[in-house]
Amino acid sequence: MRDGPVRGLVFDIDGCLVRGPHAIPGAPEALAALRARGHRMRFFTNDSAKTQAETAERLAVAGIDAAAEEVLSSATVAASYVSSRFQHGRVLVIGAGALRTVLEAQGLALVDAPPADAVVVGRDVDFTFAKLNAACRAIWGGAAFLATNLDRRMPVADGFVPGTGSLVKAVAWATASSPRVMGKPSLWAGRAAVASLGLSARDVVVVGDALLQDVRMGKVAGTATVLVLTGSSTSADVERATPRSRPDAVLPDVTYLQGWLET
């Protein structure tokens, strides 16, 4: 629950602020008004296939002001986690160039075949049996198993596409092991989001369109939570959720956020 004035906002991107290349109507103006009132902002995406700069540019094209340093992703959280536990280690990656870039920036050696200290599975539109086989062999050989996220699907302009979770589940099924999840709704993601704002959790609100990712991350991190009905989750989903899993507010879209913050 919200205990006092909100100083920081963590926004989901797809389904919350944009849909495909276009802003959700009213989102740019709503965020500009919130900035003008002094709210600190972060933009958190589970998409590990884009760099922070690329995501900021995508938001800018949609009319939403965002700096690269305000963007967090499951890839940046994963890179920080792996580097802290396997410094200069060997990492086998299933994922796009952005994920590989942030891992390399942490001084990690990326490999395409075992042995490896860790396997990191992210979004990979070129996923193949050969990649699946390499990841499984590394995990069978003792490598830690990490996933950027378990999202079943991603909202796009004309509906949805399969999410990273579909790839992660293939590896998990074959190896009979469960990954440590780095992105939303994990504790690692929530802590990173709050810490990046330089605030305490009680001063932060997580805003997103997905109960199981955005709202759950906020709950785990100890922030207030807002669900907007412009993406994955519906009012019916909220009604079916347990009381402890329900957001502090359900709004039609982000244009209603300022009014809620003022109540």
Return the pLDDT at 156: 75
H or E element at residue 103: helix 97-105
Return the pLDDT at 158: 82
Q: Which of these is catalytic: 3, 12, 117, 126?
A: 12
CA 158 to CA 150: how far, in whole Å? 22
Is 151 assigned a catalytic role? no
- Can you read off the two tokens belonging to residue 256? 């209603």
Using 50, 70 and 90 to split pLDDT, how confident is the model at 160?
Answer: confident
- Give the mean model confidence (pLDDT) for residues 223-236: 96
Q: Taking Cα atoms as reference points, which of 125, 12, 13 lies closest to residue 61?
A: 13
Which tens digits make up the pLDDT trace of 105-128? 999 999 999 999 999 999 999 999
Q: Domains along the chain?
A: 77-181 (3.40.50.1000)
Is 14 assigned a catalytic role? yes
CA 214 to CA 190: how far, in whole Å? 9
Q: Taking Cα atoms as reference points, which of 5, 4, 3, 6 lies closest to residue 207?
A: 6
Which tens digits make up the pLDDT trace of 16-51? 999 989 999 999 999 999 999 999 999 999 989 899
Cα end-to-end distance, the chain, whole Å: 13
CB contact at 8 A, 47 and 14: yes
CB contact at 8 A, 171 and 136: yes
CB contact at 8 A, 209 and 16: yes
Using 50, 70 and 90 to split pLDDT, how confident is the model at 1?
Answer: low
Which tens digits make up the pLDDT trace of 171-220? 999 999 999 999 999 999 999 999 999 999 999 999 999 999 999 999 99
Question: DSSP label at 172?
Answer: H
CA 254 to CA 236: how far, in whole Å? 19
Q: Which of these is catalytic: 14, 203, 209, 237?
A: 14
